[in-house]
Amino acid sequence: MANGFVPGSTALPPEVAALVARRDRLLGPAYRLFYEEPLHPVRGEGVWLYDAQGNAYLDVYNNVASVGHCHPHVVAAIARQAAVLNTHTRYLDETILDFAERLLATFPAPLAHAMFTCTGSEANDLAIRIATAVTGGEGFIVTSFAYHGVTSATSSMSPSLGTRVALGEHVRLVPGPDPYRHGAAETGRLLETAVRAAIADLEWRGHKVAGLLCDTIFSSDGIQPEPAGFLAGAVQAVRAAGGLYIADEVQPGFGRTGAGMWGFARHGVVPDIVTMGKPMGNGHPVAGLVARADLLQIFGQKSRYFNTFGGNPVSCAAGLAVLEVIAGEGLVANAARVGALMKEGLEALAQQHAAIGDVRGAGLFLGVELVKDRGTRQADPDYASRLVNALKRRRVLISASGPEANVLKIRPPLVFSADNAACFLEAMAAALREVDDATGR
């Protein structure tokens, strides 16, 4: 796991060691922790997390708290609704309708219906069910280091979970886009060619194509936003084969790319289904999807859908409050403006540190690729790990991504300011100098 805590690898303060031991005893061995020395936050506010000793950590990683930790407008909406009513969607309720109406207004017209779940994994699972029911196929195409969830269906389409989590026989992998190594001009053509080959292989083995499922910023594949538009050919290919395009917007959605509310818009395509996750509730367990009306007409005739707490009034109040904050505080424009400042600052640091091979991003979703040699562009996951932990010691939280865990994953809350960006860049400069000295770069 990128940036994972390895038990026994470092001496921990007694209070941290005790918490880790208690956690292992109660939760078992399957869970994972971040950082060489795990963090114990006890409070969050805006872009800051505070530990038990009152130390403030700048959060440059947590997209789940999309409008900032404990945003007062969202907290008030949750508390207000929880004090009145919380129940399921088999009763009439105006809150879910208000939320759905406001949410659907952010999408292109063909995407006309919303369905709600509790997690992004459930949303992708439901999208898979819809695509299968509508197309009559079961074959899916995902990128080679994708992550789409932890249900049985979605984990079988999430190769980033590791080789011990088996891929479905009906799943085909295509290489994730990598313009840093293959050239921006070739990115779309290479992806389309790989998708067409995957379609041919599925059909040859008797699997009708149901869909292409991809995260529109390819975050697990190393954060690949450019060039805008490179997805169009792959989408056209899968539709020509009778499949659907499912856009996983759990990470790039809700204004994060700074070019509008949804990452798919940068590629000039309209998905058949769009899935969303917990950023829509600022961390409250609400997620869902939007889809073409004709698709849900077919699905609804074949299957009932019920999720006890997917779309409950408290969750919908949280989601509605998040949309109000994004619009009211101009957070899409803020993501574009502050993201551009951060990218510019990181590019300046790349001129001083040879370990930075590439800086890329869209809005407040940036990647910094660390390499052993700029000529060979060989990945350097050790340097990335050292840098992540050097930043953590400076009370800046970040993580790494990509098939070789060598790409810094930078996606702070959307309320990140220019001053916050300056604070991050200052810590980044100091951490880079530390790791350069330690590694002889």
Indicate whether 193 and 122 sit together in one domain: yes
Residue 9 lies in a domain: no
Indicate whether 152 and 283 sit together in one domain: yes
Summarize pLDDT for 305-318 with one digit per residue, the tens.
989 899 999 999 99
User: In the listed set 295, 328, 361, which residue is the last one of a domain according to the structure?
Assistant: 328
Instruction: Using the predicted structure, report yes or no on whether residue 8 has a pLDDT greater than 90.
Output: no
pLDDT for the residue numbered 6: 81
pLDDT for the residue numbered 202: 97
Indicate whether 248 and 151 sit together in one domain: yes
Q: Give me 139's structure tokens.
A: 């074959």
Give the Cα-Cα-Cα angle 268, 413, 161 (nearest 5 degrees): 75
Domain at 46, CATH number: 3.90.1150.10
Task: Give me the mean pLDDT over the 224-230 stretch.
Answer: 96
User: In the listed set 301, 328, 355, which residue is the last one of a domain according to the structure?
Assistant: 328
Residue 76 lies in a domain: yes
Out of 4-8, 57-61, 64-68, 89-93, least confident range? 4-8
Residue 2 lies in a domain: no
The total number of structural domains in the chain stands at 2
Q: At residue 379, what are phi and psi to the nearest 5 degrees?
A: -65, 145
Q: Name the DSSP letter for residue 138.
A: -
Residue 196 lies in a domain: yes
Indicate whether 240 and 287 sit together in one domain: yes
Indicate whether 88 and 160 sit together in one domain: yes
Task: Please state, rounded to an integer, the average pLDDT across all residues of the chain.
Answer: 96
Place of tokens 């530990």: 51
Domain that holds residue 120: 72-328
Indicate whether 176 and 134 sit together in one domain: yes
Indicate whether 179 and 200 sit together in one domain: yes
Residue 339 lies in a domain: yes
Contact assessment for residue 252 and residue 226, using Cβ atoms and an 8 Å cutoff: no
DSSP string, 343-405: HHHHHHHHTT-TTEEEEEEETTEEEEEEEEETTTTEE-HHHHHHHHHHHHHTTEE-EEESTTS
Residue 303 lies in a domain: yes
Instruction: Using the predicted structure, report yes or no on whether residue 231 has a pLDDT greater than 90.
Output: yes
Indicate whether 216 and 112 sit together in one domain: yes
Summarize pLDDT for 342-370 with one digit per residue, the tens.
999 999 999 999 999 999 999 999 999 99
- Alpha carbons 36 and 16: distance in angstroms, whole number: 12
Indicate whether 110 and 249 sit together in one domain: yes
9 confidence band (pLDDT: 50, 70, 90): confident
Indicate whether 122 and 19 sit together in one domain: no
201 confidence band (pLDDT: 50, 70, 90): very high
101 confidence band (pLDDT: 50, 70, 90): very high
**Where does residue 49 rank: exposed (0-12), middle (13-18), buried (19+ CB within 10 A)?**
buried
Instruction: Using the predicted structure, report yes or no on whether residue 3 has a pLDDT greater than 90.
Output: no
Q: What is the pTM of this model?
A: 0.96
Domain at 217, CATH number: 3.40.640.10
Q: At what angle do helices 418-439 and 381-393 cross, to 10 degrees?
A: 120
Residue 338 lies in a domain: yes
Indicate whether 276 and 357 sit together in one domain: no
Out of 7-21, 146-160, 188-202, least confident range? 7-21
Out of 13-17, 81-85, 435-439, least confident range? 13-17
Whole-angstrom CA distances from 420 to 58, 172, 256, 361 are 8, 41, 16, 17
pLDDT for the residue numbered 164: 85
Residue 7 lies in a domain: no
pLDDT for the residue numbered 1: 59
Percent of the chain residues topping a pLDDT of 90: 91
Indicate whether 419 and 295 sit together in one domain: no
Percent of the chain residues topping a pLDDT of 70: 100
User: In the listed set 309, 328, 347, which residue is the last one of a domain according to the structure?
Assistant: 328
Instruction: Using the predicted structure, report yes or no on whether residue 2 has a pLDDT greater than 80.
Output: no
